[in-house]
Structure 1
């Protein structure tokens, strides 16, 4: 018997579970008659199937029966007691496959009872007990309902809870829904130990922005010509939008490189570019802020950060703060991004009077923000051999060994 599952409607899930708790089907009764026995009318469908397999085991060369020990049967009794179901006598459970069939019925009955009690819907916030004693309760947002009644949470990767473990469900119209929904998102973002390892579906989100080639002679010449005439950040923004391989050429992912322009982060922030590169270690992101090629990195008098550079640094810090508060929603468009993603500021031209080595080193070391000039960008895409792996990766010692040439 095939059970139809909607995945989002608890009532349909309950209907499917009830089908599995029904008595034997006509087909099962006919097979039993052929084998010379019959079922009691109340024999649940899964149990009938297990008895059929056991009676036909020798003819079908199936494995012999596995005995049931006392602890297994006591567990069955406990689950049955939770649901008000009469446990079968010990003598009616001669093998483990029969016991597991009875357990499937008891589990289904338990799920039905709690689904009908809680009436969960997609989008509800769920509160479940902690994984370890002494920790706080956990939270999740329902994304779907499995055929066995398990609640699956937003974020995937097997996040969810069995329905009988749920302490509380909060609807979108309840007063504390927004606070607990935010808490669920924060817990989700913090619980992912490997956000950089993307699924096939997540890589599909990035696919439209993949850069499929290294910078060409035409790309490099367009950059040289722009640097001869550009007077503003906008000039360089337009150039790099047309020639995305120029930015992609600064990093190298042996499994892919992607460049996105002006992705909106909430209502307040729009980075100039976001770059992602994938190696065997996963995807890493760079937050890119452009400034004018005529801007200085330092003040002429005291060699401290220029106001333009300080503004660019603050921009990246602001983006990271937004990511810290909105990481889950950000990963819908930017899978694998983290609050620790590196920053890259491209500003000004190389000028002997505009020395900023100490400033660069400090921000790279303390804030993971790299400060480079447009002349550096030109060198990065003109390089041959080892530099073709991505000059930024080489300079920041962030290169995966799988990216080295064979």
Structure 2
């Protein structure tokens, strides 16, 4: 079982790397096996297994080669361990035992150097030579491995640790932030949220479809509005108008104006729940009188490029603040359970015109950056005919955006 005190683990590892146990010595004498006091207990156990392999019908590891012995020599040199010559080992069973001794010595020495405790935060070298990893210690394994909070097998060997920061020390909160973000980034299935997390979203749950009054308000706004702010106010007042823009076979939640850090504000964030979990969408609004493309060259307008940049900025922010974003609001988080840094984007802007290269622009961004570019006319149509089966592509029957 995992331990909370490094001393207990270090002493256990050191015992196995020292003299054989009394029981091992007794058995060795009965079998006439010469077992020196300098033989580590782990190696003594391997020698007994090799001796008893025939009468006990044990299946043991076979032969080994020069490359494997070089691994042992390298590890032994790092831990100041004297190991037998290659021809004295005889089989991989004994080689593996000596490898285990060397690893345990390395772990025990690292534990005594670090003196790690629960809640300490460590920085460690990634064994694949990738970026450093950060972790908040939750316990210590019997083999010396430091287990991190966040599950998913997170942890590291103590000898890989390059920095340890304890609660109350300078920089601890910064290191804790890195550790929690690292744990959030490797979460295997964040879309599977709990009932408690669903309850945190209750105030933003939407009943779909929108009412006839809300649809009429949208129709009137499209005839008179000439700025983004007017559409923002309308959709905040009637959020069900946005519910059909995402696939949600169970619940849909819509949050307006979500502050992301000190510099960003998402116009809306929509979560649709299906049998596979929760899928969030970032929504950026632009003016209904803007254009998707320039009349002359049919390329994306500055307004559209700005909207795309906004969503990319939000994603970059999320990539380094996932734990904060997913944490509950009453725990000083944003309360966006299940969100990921790869969250899809939706831009709603402009009206449909026959001289606009809308379809080409939409396809380009959907393919390259997973951002859907749609018009307010599209929003009007999916509310006039709210067919859930057509929400992913409700305008396939149309020639324009």
Give the TM interval when normalised to the shorter protein: 0.5 to 0.7
* Aligned residue in 2 for 1:45: 41
* Aligned residue in 2 for 1:237: 236
CA distance in 1, matches of 2:307, 2:253: 19
* Aligned residue in 2 for 1:77: 73
Q: Report the alpha carbon displacement of residue 336 of structure 1 after superposing the two structures with TM.
A: 6.2
Length-normalised TM-score, structure 1: 0.62
Is 2:269 aligned against 1:273?
A: yes
Is 2:208 aligned against 1:219?
A: yes
Is 2:121 aligned against 1:123?
A: yes
Is 2:181 aligned against 1:203?
A: no
Cα pair 1:360 1:371 within 8 Å, conserved: no
Counterparts of 1:20-39 in structure 2, within 5 Å, are 20-26=16-22, 28=24, 39=35
* Aligned residue in 1 for 2:346: 344
Cα pair 1:54 1:65 within 8 Å, conserved: no
SS at match of 2:191: helix
Cα pair 2:290 2:303 within 8 Å, conserved: no
* Aligned residue in 1 for 2:3: 5
CA distance in 2, matches of 1:175, 1:276: 38
Is 2:99 aligned against 1:103?
A: yes
Q: Report the alpha carbon displacement of residue 359 of structure 1 after superposing the two structures with TM.
A: 6.1
CA RMSD of aligned residues (A): 5.3
Counterparts of 1:305-344 in structure 2, within 5 Å, are 314=306, 317-330=309-322, 333=326, 335=338, 337-338=340-341, 341-344=343-346
CA distance in 2, matches of 1:117, 1:69: 34
* Aligned residue in 2 for 1:365: 364
Is 2:282 aligned against 1:287?
A: yes
Q: Report the alpha carbon displacement of residue 239 of structure 1 after superposing the two structures with TM.
A: 4.0
SS at match of 2:121: coil
Is 2:385 aligned against 1:382?
A: yes
CA distance in 2, matches of 1:345, 1:69: 61
CA distance in 1, matches of 2:50, 2:384: 69
Is 2:51 aligned against 1:86?
A: no
Q: Report the alpha carbon displacement of residue 104 of structure 1 after superposing the two structures with TM.
A: 0.3
SS at match of 1:100: helix
Q: Report the alpha carbon displacement of residue 109 of structure 1 after superposing the two structures with TM.
A: 0.6
Q: Report the alpha carbon displacement of residue 174 of structure 1 after superposing the two structures with TM.
A: 6.0
Q: Deviations over 1:266-295 (max 9, x none)?
A: 245443223467899x9975212468xxx7
Cα pair 1:124 1:169 within 8 Å, conserved: yes
Is 2:158 aligned against 1:169?
A: no
The answer for unaligned runs of 5 or more in structure 2 is: 222-229, 327-335
CA distance in 2, matches of 1:321, 1:313: 12
How has the CA–CA distance of structure 1 residues 287 and 266 changed in structure 2, closer, same or farther, with 3 Å as cutoff?
same
Cα pair 1:67 1:95 within 8 Å, conserved: yes
SS at match of 1:204: coil
Cα pair 1:120 1:169 within 8 Å, conserved: no
Q: Report the alpha carbon displacement of residue 370 of structure 1 after superposing the two structures with TM.
A: 1.5
Is 2:42 aligned against 1:61?
A: no
State which of 140, 144, 168 in structure 1 corresponds to 2:133: 140
Q: Deviations over 1:123-173 (max 9, x none)?
A: 233456983xxxxx842213346544456778887776644455x426475
Q: Report the alpha carbon displacement of residue 101 of structure 1 after superposing the two structures with TM.
A: 1.1
The answer for unaligned runs of 5 or more in structure 1 is: 132-136, 396-406
CA distance in 1, matches of 2:55, 2:88: 22
Cα pair 1:345 1:370 within 8 Å, conserved: yes
Cα pair 1:275 1:288 within 8 Å, conserved: no
Q: Report the alpha carbon displacement of residue 23 of structure 1 after superposing the two structures with TM.
A: 3.7
CA distance in 2, matches of 1:265, 1:385: 30
CA distance in 1, matches of 2:156, 2:75: 17
How has the CA–CA distance of structure 1 residues 123 and 138 changed in structure 2, closer, same or farther, with 3 Å as cutoff?
same
Q: Report the alpha carbon displacement of residue 326 of structure 1 after superposing the two structures with TM.
A: 4.7
Cα pair 2:193 2:278 within 8 Å, conserved: no
Q: Report the alpha carbon displacement of residue 344 of structure 1 after superposing the two structures with TM.
A: 1.8
